[in-house]
């Protein structure tokens, strides 16, 4: 099958050495690799002269290995440049190769190229492959990337082993999510698995829009997919692997600045008990950069972040005046092994700009000219607990939109409960309404701890709650139907007395039983003695109350579920109870 592609092109890389004690112990001086147009350069250790590392292709997006010994990068296939197409008419990702720079030897090798029968001319792409920016395994022994085979429209996940020099296809059915004009290769990041954050349509519900779904692959091709955000709630903007409590977890950063963590082993999603912190593994105690909330009012359509340099002892935080999205792209931001020092590109995303060094509040330009990406030392993320964060760093708090007229009924980090008079439970979701993934429910009268929110979705306030370790989002209810209350303030259970019978004692969504040492209770298809008997509940046997009571014939009828038998049974007659609630 042939695919026609309208094509767009435009954009060289440079290297300034800065020494790390760990890498120097191995006899290696990690260079700072900077991209200028489509060539990679490095600066010689004894001078500021630029020396080209690459020739041919359009080289970009270098990423340093965890041990600082190699850098991998993308290189646009030479035949794309030879086609001499009009810049500005290609939509999507172009055919590209993956190259590897060995810092010790100074050599560049191509580890993933184009098929020998590849054709690319006048915007028609046949038997060509576009690839994502490569990502390193945590131990630096492998690389991973995704690639799109244009002719077959196949997306696959590939790994490369530096020791054996071999590639392996993990899956040839990689989820692509929303694809606009052209081919867009999904980016992956490697930590406790190989992860991708997919932007996808969310059909159904109000409003219809975009959402985000997290995919985590293992090297055997195993896949776990989790929905982690809705456009109406927070909009997942970034994802990074982060160390928390000795584990590698995925951190999902929403546009509000809130951060959730995802356990790749179980798929559990829960709020981070701290803030994201950027550092270099080559000197983990030297300098770190903390992600805080925006210091200006929250804008629901923008990033709402601020960035803070943290002193090695963790007692002081100094704000950085930088674009909020830059640190999530380490082609444009890097920590160093020197205390309080970072480097970043002073320009909007995807634009060239001056490379600046931030050193404990002082900013100086690096003499390499304007650049569009760079790699220096490897960087990583970790969660710094809230109790170890200086008080002047703001925390993210989501502000509900004006669509929710009902004021919040709960307080953050305080206990709450579901209205005990409710006839059904409050459902618990990974994220808001319309429901995407239901993970449980809270029965009427059930208690919980509030850990996040509120957020406004569908004109209702939603709270993130912890119910015995199960964390999810549940609705406060509409303007005239409040369902959540602070503990001690919820209305008492509804008291019902049917004519001809005593006060009912059963509660919906609770357990009850036929009183022991009595007769079995009939279960009927409808709440009347004129309906068919469909079974019996023996004395002393528990069942779940689903609905009721309905009054009729001097009886109080309850809809029950007894081991899968669903029907109506009477609570008693006159002044005699046949059923009793269980504690």
Per-residue model confidence (pLDDT) at position 79:
81
Please compute the mean of the pLDDT values over residues 18-33 and round it to a whole number. 52
> Which residues, including other chains, have CB under 8 Å from residue 141's CB and lie 6 or more apart?
161, 162, 163
Quote the DSSP letter at residue 515: P
Instruction: Identify the CA nearest to 244 among candidates 277, 195, 287.
Output: 277
Higher pLDDT among residues 14 and 554, named by residue = 554
Return the C-alpha torsion angle 84, 85, 91, 96, nearest 10. Answer: -20
Question: What distances in angstroms separate CA 39 from CA 127, 347, 485, one per listed residue?
Answer: 26, 20, 61
Mean pLDDT over all residues of the chain? Answer: 79
Q: What does the alpha-carbon distance between residue 75 and residue 61 come to, in Å, rounded to a whole number?
A: 9
Residue 208: CB atoms within 10 A of its CB come to 11
Quote the DSSP letter at residue 238: E
Task: Answer yes or no: is pLDDT of 210 > 60.
Answer: no
Contact criterion met (CB below 8 Å) for 418 and 493: no
> Which residues, including other chains, have CB under 8 Å from residue 86's CB and lie 6 or more apart?
none
3 state DSSP class of 318: strand
Quote the DSSP letter at residue 460: E
Quick: pLDDT tens for 317-342: 998 877 666 666 666 788 888 888 88
Contact criterion met (CB below 8 Å) for 218 and 193: yes
Quote the DSSP letter at residue 7: B
Residue 328 sits at φ, ψ, to 5 deg, of: -80, -5
- Domain 511-581: give its CATH superfamily: SH3 Domains (2.30.30.40)
Q: What does the alpha-carbon distance between residue 240 and residue 249 come to, in Å, rounded to a whole number?
A: 9
CATH architecture of 415-486: Roll (2.30)
Higher pLDDT among residues 118 and 420, named by residue = 118
Least confident interval from 81-85, 415-419, 522-526, 559-563: 81-85
Task: Answer yes or no: is pLDDT of 29 > 60.
Answer: no
Could you write out the DSSP letters of every residue in 65-84?
-TTSSEEEEEEE-HHHHHTT
Say if residue 482 is exposed, middle or buried (CB neighbours under 10 Å; 0-12, 13-18, 19+).
middle
Task: Answer yes or no: is pLDDT of 171 > 80.
Answer: yes
> Which residues, including other chains, have CB under 8 Å from residue 376's CB and lie 6 or more apart?
16, 18, 30, 31, 32, 33, 64, 334, 336, 343
Task: Answer yes or no: is pLDDT of 266 > 60.
Answer: yes
**Lookup result for tokens 């509030």:** 450
Contact criterion met (CB below 8 Å) for 29 and 19: yes
Q: Is residue 165 left, alpha or beta, with left meaning phi > 0 and alpha meaning psi from -120 to 50?
A: left
Fold: same for 415-486 and 511-581: yes
Q: What does the alpha-carbon distance between residue 501 and residue 555 come to, in Å, rounded to a whole number?
A: 6
Helices (H), 298-430: none
Per-residue model confidence (pLDDT) at position 84:
65
3 state DSSP class of 517: coil
Least confident interval from 14-23, 204-213, 420-429: 14-23
CA-based radius of gyration for the chain: 30
Query: Where residue 431 falls among pLDDT bands split at 50, 70, 90?
Result: low
The winner for highest mean pLDDT among 175-179, 275-279, 313-317, 420-424 is 275-279
Buried b (16+ CB within 10 A) or exposed e, 149-169: bbbeeebbbbbbebeeeeeee
Q: What does the alpha-carbon distance between residue 333 and residue 309 come to, in Å, rounded to a whole number?
A: 13
Instruction: Identify the CA nearest to 76 among candidates 91, 93, 88.
Output: 93
The residues spanned by each domain of the chain are 1-185, 191-272, 276-396, 415-486, 511-581
Q: What does the alpha-carbon distance between residue 456 and residue 399 come to, in Å, rounded to a whole number?
A: 8
Q: What does the alpha-carbon distance between residue 455 and residue 404 come to, in Å, rounded to a whole number?
A: 9
Residue 357 sits at φ, ψ, to 5 deg, of: -110, 120
Quote the pTM value: 0.67
């Amino acid at each position: 099958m042939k695919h026609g592609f309208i094509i767009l092109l435009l954009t060289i890389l440079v290297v300034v050495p800065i020494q790390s004690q760990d890498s120097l112990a191995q006899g290696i001086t990690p260079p700072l690799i900077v991209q200028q147009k489509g060539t990679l350069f490095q600066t010689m250790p004894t001078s500021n002269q630029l020396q080209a590392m690459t020739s041919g292709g359009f080289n970009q997006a270098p990423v340093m290995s965890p041990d600082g010994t190699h850098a991998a990068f993308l290189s646009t296939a030479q035949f794309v440049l030879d086609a001499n197409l009009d810049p500005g008419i290609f939509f999507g990702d172009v055919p590209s190769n993956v190259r590897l720079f060995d810092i010790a030897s100074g050599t560049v090798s191509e580890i993933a190229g184009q098929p020998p029968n590849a054709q690319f001319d006048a915007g028609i792409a046949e038997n060509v492959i576009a690839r994502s920016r490569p990502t390193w395994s945590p131990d630096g022994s492998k690389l991973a990337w995704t690639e799109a085979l244009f002719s077959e429209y196949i997306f696959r996940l590939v790994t490369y082993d530096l020791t054996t020099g071999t590639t392996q296809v993990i899956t040839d059915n990689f989820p692509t999510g929303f694809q606009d004009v052209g081919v867009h290769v999904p980016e992956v990041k490697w930590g406790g698995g190989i992860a991708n954050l997919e932007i996808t349509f969310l059909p159904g519900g109000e409003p219809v829009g975009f959402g985000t779904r997290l995919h985590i692959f293992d090297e055997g091709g195993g896949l776990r997919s989790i929905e982690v955000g809705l456009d109406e709630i927070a909009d997942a903007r970034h994802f990074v692997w982060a160390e928390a409590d000795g584990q590698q977890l995925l951190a999902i950063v929403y546009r509000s600045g809130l951060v959730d963590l995802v356990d790749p082993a179980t798929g559990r999603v829960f709020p981070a008990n701290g803030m994201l912190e950027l550092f270099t593994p080559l000197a983990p105690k030297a300098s770190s950069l903390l992600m805080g909330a925006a210091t200006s009012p929250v804008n629901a359509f923008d990033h709402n972040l601020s960035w803070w340099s943290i002193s090695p002892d963790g007692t002081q935080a100094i704000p950085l005046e930088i674009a909020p999205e830059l640190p999530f792209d380490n082609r444009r931001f890097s920590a160093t092994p020197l205390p309080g020092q970072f480097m970043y590109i002073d320009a909007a995303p995807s634009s060239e700009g001056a490379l600046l060094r931030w050193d404990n509040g002082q900013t100086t330009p690096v003499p390499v000219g304007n650049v569009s990406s760079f790699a220096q030392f490897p960087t990583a993320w970790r969660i710094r607990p809230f109790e170890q964060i200086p008080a002047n760093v703001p925390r993210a708090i989501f502000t509900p939109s004006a669509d929710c007229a009902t004021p919040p009924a709960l307080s953050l980090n305080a206990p709450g409960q579901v209205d005990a008079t409710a006839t059904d439970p409050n459902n618990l979701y990974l994220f808001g309404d319309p429901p995407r993934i239901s993970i449980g429910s809270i029965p009427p009268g059930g208690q919980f701890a509030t850990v996040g929110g509120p957020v406004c979705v569908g004109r209702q306030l939603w709270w993130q709650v912890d119910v015995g370790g199960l964390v999810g989002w549940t609705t406060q209810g509409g303007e005239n139907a409040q369902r959540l209350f602070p503990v001690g303030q919820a209305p008492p259970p509804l008291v019902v007395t049917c004519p001809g019978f005593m006060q009912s004692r059963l509660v919906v969504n609770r357990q009850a039983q036929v009183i022991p040492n009595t007769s079995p209770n009939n279960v009927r298809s409808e709440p009347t003695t004129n309906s068919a008997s469909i079974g019996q509940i023996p004395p002393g046997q528990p069942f779940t109350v689903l609905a009721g009571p309905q009054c009729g014939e001097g009886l109080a009828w309850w809809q029950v579920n007894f081991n899968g038998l669903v029907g109506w049974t009477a609570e008693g007659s006159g002044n005699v109870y046949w059923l009793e609630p269980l504690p």
